[in-house]
């Protein structure tokens, strides 16, 4: 494998000057595209590949800032990682106990997944570590992972308010726990299970609603037994991971922007290839279909333990719905663009039970409501969701508040807008979707940098 051509100074990238998008109205989405690799699986492929015995070959790796932050962190802890080069990465695993103390704090940029999952992995190490992030990540709640880890015997210091930086004291003897999650969170579940690799007993988690299960699947794919029974997942500490090839499917969260764009733009007919169809992630498809979207699942198959398929989406007249509560955790990352779908639908859409959206990269409920109002849509935020009356999108300037998913959602909104939509603070789109503008333009969206 050729050595990587990437050298990412994440601090410098996050300090970049404001990047703005202009999305011009009209157009249709057509053709065949493959969106970048799944971010959740990319993170875990580096983490578990580093802790495995042997060499893990990864294809389809997402070369976005968040995933690269995870990669850089494990390099800093002594793991030899080749790439990425065109989505290919080779990780030379060091085993569960082979990580080395980094020489400085691990800077994780904007990646909440990196910080929360690493907290679990590092709680069981023999050395001290400090996890830091950018301004946005430093405001996100971390007690949701530090508290269960403390119950296991970990020692983690946080900033006032329970936020980053996290100072993790090594050399602690962790105890197995049976943890009932107070909220549905794959990051919290994964954090506890990963810490459980370093205890002598059996660690279990119980979640109030289904969340993505990539950690459980990948652990099993590497030969580590994980028992899953409904909402309960358990593993016994003290085992080992065996390296295995990992093919990262296209990220359904990234595909969601094109699913909505093709649904709302008349004349659209778009095929999205090799999309991850993990049943804990397909809520966006179920919600859009309930709204009347024309989405066809083609060529379903399984790759490396993860279900994938091609998705054909054609334009359709959407209708407002009351979003079923059981689908909310299965589409939590896709709601910014689902709010755009609701704005273009006939009638009222009501979302409840999504208070988690207020503590993402931004307060996604308030920021999306503010932007939709600027564009002439009646969008009323509530403590745990939003009420949106479908209408006619106008034009204007909106602020993404540095949130990659909000920036891309408003770009897709231009397909049905009366005039241009200018979007501020878009630099973080590279955290999850490098090449978004190029792929969107290839598909038929008139979007550019200004």
Widest pairwise Cα distance in the chain: 62
Domains of the chain: 15-38+249-449 (3.65.10.10), 39-242 (3.65.10.10)
What is residue 17's predicted lDDT score, i.e. its pLDDT? 60
Residue 97 gets which letter from DSSP? T
Phi-psi region for residue 392, left (φ > 0), alpha (ψ -120 to 50) or beta? beta
> ω into residue 382 within 30 of 0, thus cis?
no
What is residue 111's predicted lDDT score, i.e. its pLDDT? 95
Provide the terminal-to-terminal Cα distance of the chain, rounded to the nearest Å.
37
Catalytic residue IDs: 333
What is residue 138's predicted lDDT score, i.e. its pLDDT? 96
- Name 147's Cβ contacts closer than 8 Å, sequence gap at least 6: none
Q: Across 249-293, where does the E strand assignment appear?
A: 269-276
pTM for this entry: 0.89
**Of 406, 412, 284, which is closest to residue 28 (Cα–Cα)?**
412
Instruction: Tell me the C-alpha to C-alpha distance, in Å, between residue 297 and each of 28, 272, 308, 312.
Output: 20, 10, 10, 7
Render pLDDT for 359-382 as a digit per residue (tens, 0 to 9). 999 999 999 999 999 999 999 999
What is residue 9's predicted lDDT score, i.e. its pLDDT? 38
Counts of helices then strands in the chain (DSSP H, E): 13, 25
Residue 249 gets which letter from DSSP? P
Residue count of the chain, please give it: 450
What is residue 10's predicted lDDT score, i.e. its pLDDT? 39
What is residue 75's predicted lDDT score, i.e. its pLDDT? 98
Residue 388 dihedral angles phi and psi, to the nearest 5°: -125, 125
Pairing mode of beta strands 241-242, 52-53: parallel
pLDDT digit string (tens) for the chain, length 450 residues: 543 333 333 333 344 468 999 999 999 999 999 999 999 999 999 999 999 999 999 999 999 999 999 999 999 999 999 999 999 999 999 999 999 999 999 999 999 999 999 999 999 999 999 999 999 999 999 999 999 999 999 999 999 999 999 999 999 999 999 999 999 999 999 999 999 999 999 999 999 999 999 999 999 999 999 999 999 999 999 999 999 999 999 999 999 999 999 999 999 999 999 999 999 999 999 999 999 999 999 999 998 789 999 999 999 999 999 999 999 999 999 999 999 999 999 999 999 999 999 999 999 999 999 999 999 999 999 999 999 999 999 999 999 999 999 999 999 999 999 999 999 999 999 888 999 999 999 999 999 999
**Helix runs in 321-450, H state only:** 335-344, 364-374, 404-413, 436-443
- Cα 119 to Cα 218: distance, rounded to the nearest angstrom: 18
């Amino acid at each position: 494998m050729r050595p990587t051509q990437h050298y990412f100074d994440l601090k410098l990238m996050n300090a970049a000057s404001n990047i703005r998008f202009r999305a011009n109205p009209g157009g249709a989405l057509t053709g065949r595209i493959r969106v970048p690799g799944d971010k959740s699986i990319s993170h875990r492929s580096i983490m578990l590949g580093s802790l495995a015995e042997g060499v893990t070959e990864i294809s389809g790796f997402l070369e976005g800032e968040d995933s690269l932050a995870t990669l850089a962190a494990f390099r800093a802890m002594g793991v030899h990682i080749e790439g990425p080069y065109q989505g290919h990465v080779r990780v030379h695993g060091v085993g569960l106990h082979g990580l080395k103390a980094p020489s400085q704090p691990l800077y994780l940029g904007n990646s909440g997944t990196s910080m929360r999952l690493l907290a679990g992995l590092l709680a069981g190490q023999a050395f001290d570590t400090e996890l830091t992030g950018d301004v946005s990540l430093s405001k996100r709640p971390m007690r949701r992972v530090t508290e269960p880890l403390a119950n296991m015997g970990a020692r983690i210091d946080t900033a006032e308010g329970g936020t980053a930086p996290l100072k993790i004291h090594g050399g602690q003897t962790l105890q197995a726990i049976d943890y009932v999650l107070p909220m549905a969170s794959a990051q919290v579940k994964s954090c506890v299970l990963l810490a459980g690799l370093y205890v002598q007993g059996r660690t279990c988690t119980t979640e109030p609603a289904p969340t993505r299960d990539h950690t459980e699947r990948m652990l099993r794919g590497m030969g580590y037994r994980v028992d899953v029974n409904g909402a309960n997942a358990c593993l016994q500490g003290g085992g080992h991971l065996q390296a295995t090839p990992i093919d990262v499917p296209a990220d359904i969260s990234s595909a969601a922007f094109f699913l909505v764009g093709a649904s709302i733009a008349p004349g659209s007919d778009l095929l999205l290839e090799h999309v991850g169809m993990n049943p804990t992630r397909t809520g966006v498809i179920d919600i859009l279909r309930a709204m009347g979207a024309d989405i066809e699942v083609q060529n379903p198959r399984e790759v490396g333990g993860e279900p994938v398929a091609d998705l054909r989406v054609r334009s359709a007249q959407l209708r407002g719905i009351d979003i079923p509560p059981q689908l909310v955790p299965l589409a939590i990352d896709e709601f910014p663009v689902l709010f755009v779908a609701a704005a273009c639908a006939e009638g009222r859409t009501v979302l409840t039970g999504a208070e988690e959206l207020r503590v993402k990269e931004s307060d996604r409920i308030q920021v999306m409501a503010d932007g939709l109002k600027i564009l002439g849509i009646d969008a009323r935020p509530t403590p745990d969701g939003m009420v949106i009356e479908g209408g006619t999108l106008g034009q204007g300037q909106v602020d993404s508040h540095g949130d990659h998913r909000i920036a891309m959602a408003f770009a897709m909104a231009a397909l049905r807008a009366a005039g241009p939509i200018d979007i501020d603070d878009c630099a973080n789109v590279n955290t999850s979707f490098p090449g978004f503008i190029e792929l969107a333009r290839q598909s038929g969206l008139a979007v550019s940098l200004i």
